[in-house]
Amino acid sequence: MSVAVEIEKLTKSFHVRAKHKTVALNEVDLKIQQGEMVALIGPSGSGKSTLLRHVGGLVQADKTSGPIQVLGETVQCRGKLNSNIRRQRAQIGFIFQQFNLIGRLTVLRNVLLGRLGRTPRWRGSLGLFTHQERAMAVTALQRVGLAELALQRASTLSGGQQQRVAIARALTQQARLLLADEPIASLDPEAARRVMETLKDIHERDKRTVIVTLHQVEYALKYCQRAIALNNGRIVFDGPASELTPATLNNLYGVSHLERVEEAGSGKIGSLQPSAA
């Protein structure tokens, strides 16, 4: 099995004020094989979203960082994006917490935008998509169960539906690696379940590598084999998701955190951010 993502010594710091910086990621090393479904967990501010955005080539790391390789090609190294970054982004599907669809365009057109990285630029810019590409977009919409809404404006859909449109966009993109950044944080439990089922289906049927950041451990346990936990910009746990017992979480995030989880209660194994979502 070949490597999907390989990260070496990834460091990222943000300058909050002059001469005052916070380190979001601190020399993170990570390797993910093709065909894995991995959960990145951690409380907000732990660096999980930042990590994912680096892999997608949406932010640049510090100059001291090593290379980030995706599917055998370097996305960025020492804080410099590969000059071919647009072609690489086409290989990487990115699902955002706020869906990031174009509200005024139709659902179908939003899904077709997934082809932009793979069609000649002039054709993509003029919006002249081929019959085959349209068929591909409709198929993707059928798969997420939204084909009948294809001609509606994206802004008229519910949050869960919009997120599934975003997944259809990534499908149409034929992305080999799917990065989902808090895909269910803004959704109600039923919509969240459908989105996670869709991601799992893509992972299982299409054998795609999926990396998903979550702050609710129960979803990681249910849908992912492997879990990586971050805290303060470092990896503090990397192993089978089933090992994420309340005791382990307690060790990772401290007693105070567990207390907060128990306050949120209702028998859940643990939400790292009970107040969020």
Q: Footprint of other proteins on this chain (CB under 8 A)? A: 56, 58, 86-94, 96, 98-105, 113-118, 121, 124-125, 166, 169, 173
Task: Report the distance separating Cα 120 and Cα 140, nearest Å.
Answer: 21
Of 66 and 114, CB closest to other proteins = 114
Of 34 and 106, CB closest to other proteins = 106
DSSP class of residue 26 equals E
Return the SS3 of 97. Answer: coil
Task: Report the distance separating Cα 213 and Cα 184, nearest Å.
Answer: 9
Tell the smallest beta-carbon distance from residue 172 to other proteins (Å): 9
Return the SS3 of 274. Answer: coil
Tell the smallest beta-carbon distance from residue 114 to other proteins (Å): 5
Of 115 and 257, CB closest to other proteins = 115
Phi, psi of 105 (to 5 degrees): -90, 160
CB 236 within 8 A of CB 229: yes
Tell the smallest beta-carbon distance from residue 113 to other proteins (Å): 6
Pick from 204, 201, 202: nearest CA to 178: 202
Of 89 and 194, CB closest to other proteins = 89
Task: Report the distance separating Cα 93 and Cα 166, nearest Å.
Answer: 9
Tell the smallest beta-carbon distance from residue 245 to other proteins (Å): 35
| The two three-digit tokens of residue 188, written as one number | 């109600």
Pick from 165, 211, 207, 198: nearest CA to 54: 211
Of 44 and 91, CB closest to other proteins = 91
Tell the smallest beta-carbon distance from residue 92 to other proteins (Å): 7
Tell the smallest beta-carbon distance from residue 266 to other proteins (Å): 31
Of 153 and 222, CB closest to other proteins = 153
Q: How many CB atoms are located within 10 Å of the residue 226 CB?
A: 18
Q: Render 8-27 in DSSP notation, one character per residue.
A: EEEEEEEEEETTEEEEEEEE
